[in-house]
Amino acid sequence: MFTHACCQSFSSDGAVELSFHKNGGLMGQAFSLDASLLLARPLFPHVLCKGCSVRFLLDPTAPPWYPGPPGFTPLAALSAGQRERAALPPTSRAQGEVLLMVGLPGSGKSHWARAHMKQHPEKQYRLLGTEELLASVISGGQRESWLQQASQCLTDLIKMASQTPGNYILDQSNVLFSARRYKLQLFTGFRRRVVVVVPSADEWKRRLSLHRTSGGEQIPETPLLKLQVMFRLPEQQSELQEELQYVELPQEQAQALLQELGNEAQRLLPPSLKQEKKPRFHRKRPHPRRPAASHRLQSTGCHGWNQTRPDMQPWRQQPRYFTVDSVPTSSLISAHTDKNSSETTGLCCIMSTLICSSHTAWPSRSHTT
């Protein structure tokens, strides 16, 4: 077991020194800075470790584990006037707050979020953004691969944050309604504020150019034009949010500017390539329940496809020759022999009527009587 101590020394000339001790032995000075840089803010102890357990000695009456350096007072032994309690985090979702930033890349969302955090230090906002994650990544490798991993990590962090009470700022573009709805639904129960940042056209172009030259996230021209076309402002009255705030242009001017930017981006976008349909060379397969072509006429009868009646037998069981009992055989013979006579027309009508009434199909081949 090791005992570590962090010692903080304030000198009369305004210098602040931080040093570490291990098992009572000095490990050297770690930091030295001027007290004016602290801006009268207190310093709070913080422990970051992995794979080990930690215990704190905060009992002023307990003996020290190791003797400390002379001239230092343990933190637990300080008087109440010399200590300052940190702000307590929210204990429920109703006490938490989430700010959803909305705006095109380079419009000034991150700048506004950091300024808002400085104005309200008591809320202890946690800024969740791609640039914040990339700043914590060790330099090296391709930026595009780091950007993809940071985006995936940010998605997981937002899901974890929605389950942990606290105050958060989601620093992303969020120009699509579907993206805003998904994230705001995750934070149901929080106080949800939507902050829209839409500067003027000239100011946005200036900020975007400054963002690119300062090493910020590089967005290709075509995806940026698509974002301008798809950008839709949030609705004023919506059940997904409790407050909607425009920090640059008001809603009417922002809507007019986005319409202008969208029309301009629509003209600059490359035309979409239409996919040519390939010709179909395969033969059409027959219907699985459709009978063969040679029996199709027999199955239809006079009532069309698959129209049967209770007194009609299935087409496979029907006789292949029709019989007409009420018509004399001599008339049938005369109909075949004398095609020009007037009796032929009348006989054909009688035969057609009898066939339709008895649902008997025509023969599939010619026969002689």
Q: Rounded to 5 degrees, what angle do the CA atoms 294, 296, 300 make? A: 150
Distance CA 47, CA 228 (A): 44
Q: Catalogue the E-assigned strands of the chain.
A: 4-10, 15-22, 25-34, 97-102, 126-129, 167-171, 191-196, 243-246
pLDDT score at 283: 56
Q: Is the pLDDT of residue 196 over 90?
A: yes
- Cβ-contact 183, 170 below 8 angstroms: yes
Q: Which among 208, 176, 186, 200 has a CA at the least distance from the CA of 102?
A: 176
> 107 and 202 in contact (C-beta within 8 Å)?
no
Assign a CATH topology to domain 93-268: Rossmann fold (3.40.50)
Phi and psi at residue 304, to the nearest 5°? 90, -170
Of 108, 105, 112, residue with least CA distance to 199? 108
Check if the beta carbon of residue 167 is closer than 8 Å to that of residue 98. Answer: yes
Nearest to 211 by CA among 295, 351, 107, 310: 107
Compute the average pLDDT of residues 209-234.
84
Domain map (residue ranges) of the chain:
4-82, 93-268, 293-358
pLDDT of 250 over the 80 cut: yes
Q: Is the pLDDT of residue 303 over 50?
A: no
pLDDT at 47 exceeding the cut of 80: yes
Q: Across residues 260-266, what is the average pLDDT?
A: 92
Residue 333 has pLDDT above 50, yes or no: no
Residue 129 has pLDDT above 70, yes or no: yes
User: Token pair of 131, please?
Assistant: 């640039």
DSSP β-ladder status, 25-34 and 15-22: antiparallel
Taking the C-alpha atoms of residue 344 and residue 340, their distance in angstroms, rounded to an integer, is: 7
Tell me what pLDDT residue 242 has: 92
- Rounded CA separation 85/357 (Å): 101
pTM over 0.95: no
pLDDT at 103: 94
Identify whether the C-beta of residue 32 lies closer than 8 Å to the C-beta of residue 40.
no
Please give the structure tokens belonging to residue 300: 């239809």
Mean pLDDT of 319-324: 47
Per-residue model confidence (pLDDT) at position 59: 82
pLDDT at 357 over 90: no
Of the candidates 194, 189, 144, the residue with the CA atom closest to the CA atom of residue 172:
194
Please check whether residue 247 is in contact with residue 197, taking contact to mean a CB–CB distance below 8 angstroms: yes
Query: Does residue 239 have a pLDDT over 80?
Result: yes
320 pLDDT more than 70: no
Distance from CA of residue 19 to its chain's centroid?
A: 47
